[in-house]
Amino acid sequence: MATAGNIYAGPRRQLGKMREHFLAYALLAPALLLFVAFTVFPIGFGFYISLHNWRVGPREFLGLGNYLRALAPGSEFWPSLGATLTYSLLAVPLQITIALALAYLLFQKIRGKSLFRVVMFLPWVTSTVATAAVWARLYSPDIGLINNALRGLGLPPLRWLLEDKGVLTLVANGLGLTLPDWLRGPSLAMVAVVIYTTWVFVGYNMTLFLAGLGNIPGEMYEAAKIDGANGWQVFRYITWPLLSPTTFFVVLITVIGTLKAFNHIWVMTQGDNGTQTASILIYRQFYEFQRAGYASALAFLLSAVILLVTLLQNRVAAERVNY
């Protein structure tokens, strides 16, 4: 027989759930409003701008005209995308390899390793614009310390950031050979920027690798030593597989960082001599030529490329990362 308490239990339970849901949405509301105001709205407005011939304001609705212009054969977007991918392909392996080697060395029981960690991390916490300006000075053909060092070693000075010739072409010319254009390689200016980038970001990546190394159980190393494994076997069969999640994360953020790199490249070369990446092109179209619609379309295309590369990395790493 149903009692009065049982009759009202259902509505009370539903009322309690409604209050919980209302409280949850009320607590989430400030964060959601900020997310919509500072993330969703700017992206949506940027896409709206990309559909127009936009100077100070909208002049003409173009639909996908800006995107078709950017993707057309002969567009300046393709060389800039090529420079972006070249920069990423040069910088990422170099940064990852050096950072992993340094982390592995500093993970050993050596004296002064805390000091070395701080020294290696310093470039990353220093202002990128300031350090890029200093390195541009170091690369100066006339008064730069790097060319002074080359002269001291009896080697010819280089134009570094002012050199648009490919590094392979320069090497071949030094040997008295001539290479076809498709074998010229990245410009010396691009290589100089990659060297600076490696100097800045190696310390940050090294810190991430050190954190990953610290998560590997020490018992596995002790068991490997008891079994007679040498240093290479320990790294190959224990360190490298168990470090794969950290390596995947470091590679992911490094690739994304190189694909959208801007400030130090602009400070060092202003995008000249083969270093006009997609970010530099977007900046020039927006500020120098006042083409906000076209620049927005280029920005969305670059975002699509970054998303595609990230999905490709996830696909490739899915079977190689040991979680």
Residues linked to residue 52 through DSSP beta bridges, in sequence order: 61
Q: Is the pLDDT of residue 4 over 80?
A: no
Amino acid at 7: I
Query: pLDDT band at 178, cuts 50/70/90?
Result: confident
- Cα dihedral angle (198, 200, 206, 207), rounded to 10 degrees? -160
pLDDT of residue 102: 94
Determine contact, residues 214/292, Cβ cutoff 8 Å. no
pLDDT of residue 8: 65
pLDDT of residue 40: 96
Give the tokens for residue 105. Answer: 């060395």
| % of residues, the chain, pLDDT over 70 | 97
Ramachandran assignment for 155, one of left (phi > 0), alpha (psi -120 to 50 degrees), beta (any other)? beta
Residues linked to residue 166 through DSSP beta bridges, in sequence order: 187
Q: Is the pLDDT of residue 3 over 80?
A: no
Determine contact, residues 294/66, Cβ cutoff 8 Å. yes
Instruction: Find the mean pLDDT for residues 98-120.
Output: 89
Q: Is the pLDDT of residue 48 over 80?
A: yes
Instruction: Find the mean pLDDT for residues 253-258.
Output: 96
What are the C-alpha distances in Å from 73 to residues 68, 69, 194? Answer: 10, 9, 28
Instruction: Find the mean pLDDT for residues 44-63.
Output: 90
What is the C-alpha to C-alpha distance for residues 209 and 216, in angstroms, rounded to an integer?
11
Tell me if residue 245 falls in helix, strand or coil.
helix
Give the tokens for residue 168. Answer: 């392979």
What is the C-alpha to C-alpha distance for residues 244 and 202, in angstroms, rounded to an integer?
18
Q: Which of 39-53, 88-102, 165-179, 292-306 is least confident? A: 165-179
Instruction: Find the mean pLDDT for residues 151-160.
Output: 92
Q: At what angle do helices 188-214 and 128-138 cross, to 10 degrees?
A: 130
What is the C-alpha to C-alpha distance for residues 277 and 285, in angstroms, rounded to an integer?
12
Q: Which of 25-34, 96-105, 213-222 is least confident? A: 213-222
